[in-house]
Amino acid sequence: MAKCDVCGKDENMPYNCRHCGGTYCADHRLPENHDCSGLQNWNDPQGVFDSGFDDSVNGGSTSRASSLADKVPVNTGTGGPLAYFRGNMTYTFLALMWMTFFAQLIVGLFGNASLYQSLFVLTSWNVEYVWTWVTSIFAHSTANFMHIVGNSIVIFFFGPLVERYVGSRNFAILFVVSGVLAGLSQVGISIAQGSPTVVLGASGAALAIMGVLTILNPGLKVYLYFILPVPIWLLTAGYAFISVFFLSTGGGGNIAHMAHLVGLVIGLAYGQYLKQNRNVSAPSRLEFGGGGGPGGPGGPGGPGRGRF
């Protein structure tokens, strides 16, 4: 169940507005009943339901948006290939991860290490490069393909479940905030220990998603490799134990255990907030498999220097 963002009513089958990302009951599902951000476009047959580019009926800046849409060589409407990503932040973030990965490969071909780091990598010696706080979430190791594959698997299977119950907007905030704080925490502990480090990867956000599901339904069965049923609380406890163990012993190789732990704690805290204030629940079973994910080699992100 989920609570309506307008009246707080418990709803077994909540409506998730694909334009503003809110969660509403049947009484408030219409844009005019929940003050939808796309309400001003309601009289435009292409307005609320398309990508938001074509608002030319309003003139002014919206006309410029329309001309921009005309220049895009892809159909941005509901029938086009980009319609799948509207109101679906999970797969939007996955697409950004892979686009960033290919951008890393292109920049790497030119052999400019300084440009590569300044664009994609959060480092302990250039923390003031604030854009890397975000880009490093979507960037992954190009030397280990399983780094991005592992994180993609976790986000692909778990992300839609969380997004469905919290809404696209809140999911996006959770993903970015947990990823940023996870990365900064890893840099912070490295600076405190006097050990320079580089950080990149989405495992902080991925583990935040797992943390939310662990609180909402600790008995959620995850079928590792589609065979072995494991409750999600056991996976979460395993990650927490490993992270705490290696942080306390100073080991763990090049895996960013502090980032793992911080992402997980953020997810657990947010899941507890949802459970207490919105009465949200999750499915009881989920098939899950693939290398590099929970139970696979290295978990989300796998082993490697500064990857999480």
Q: Which amino acid is at 232?
A: I
The string of pLDDT tens digits covering residues 20-49 is 667 788 888 887 778 776 665 545 444 444
Q: Which amino acid is at 22?
A: G
> How many residues are recorded in the chain?
308
Q: What pLDDT is stored for residue 221 in this prediction?
A: 82
Q: Are 299 and 230 in contact, with CB atoms under 8 Å apart?
A: no
The average pLDDT across 65-75 equals: 51
| pLDDT of 58 strictly over 80 | no
Q: Is the pTM of this model over 0.85?
A: no
Task: Check if 1-36 and 85-277 are the same fold.
Answer: no
Task: Give the burial string for 28-51 (b: 16+ CB within 10 Å, else e).
Answer: bbebeebebbbbebeebebbbbbb
**256 compared with 262, residue with greater pLDDT:** 262
The string of pLDDT tens digits covering residues 199-214 is 999 999 999 999 999 9
Confidence of residue 291 (pLDDT cuts 50, 70, 90): very low
CATH number, domain 1-36, options 1.10.510.10, 3.40.920.10, 3.40.640.10, 4.10.1110.10: 4.10.1110.10
106 alpha-carbon distance from chain centroid = 24
Mean pLDDT, the chain, integer: 76
**Cα–Cα dist 15/28, whole Å:** 9
Closest CA to 259 of 131, 124, 101: 124
| pLDDT of 57 strictly over 90 | no
For the chain, the domains span 1-36, 85-277
**46 compared with 304, residue with greater pLDDT:** 46
Q: Maximum distance among all alpha carbons in the chain?
A: 63
Q: What pLDDT is stored for residue 156 in this prediction?
A: 92
CATH number, domain 85-277, options 3.30.2130.30, 1.20.1540.10, 3.40.50.2300, 1.10.3720.10: 1.20.1540.10
Question: Can you tell me whether residue 11 is helix, strand or coil?
Answer: strand
The string of pLDDT tens digits covering residues 186-240 is 999 888 888 888 899 999 999 999 999 999 888 888 877 667 888 888 888 887 8
Q: Are 204 and 263 in contact, with CB atoms under 8 Å apart?
A: yes
Q: What pLDDT is stored for residue 238 in this prediction?
A: 83
Beta strands per DSSP E along 93-171: 122-123
The average pLDDT across 40-67 equals: 43
For 278, residues 6+ apart whose C-beta sits below 8 A from its C-beta are 2, 3
The string of pLDDT tens digits covering residues 98-150 is 999 999 999 988 878 888 989 999 998 989 999 999 999 999 988 888 889 98
Q: What pLDDT is stored for residue 85 in this prediction?
A: 64
**12 compared with 284, residue with greater pLDDT:** 12
Residue at token pair 């990598």: 121
Confidence of residue 86 (pLDDT cuts 50, 70, 90): low
Tokens of 193: 């220990």
Q: How far is CA 180 from CA 40, 169, 174, 187, 219, in A?
A: 33, 17, 10, 11, 29
Closest CA to 243 of 263, 222, 271: 263
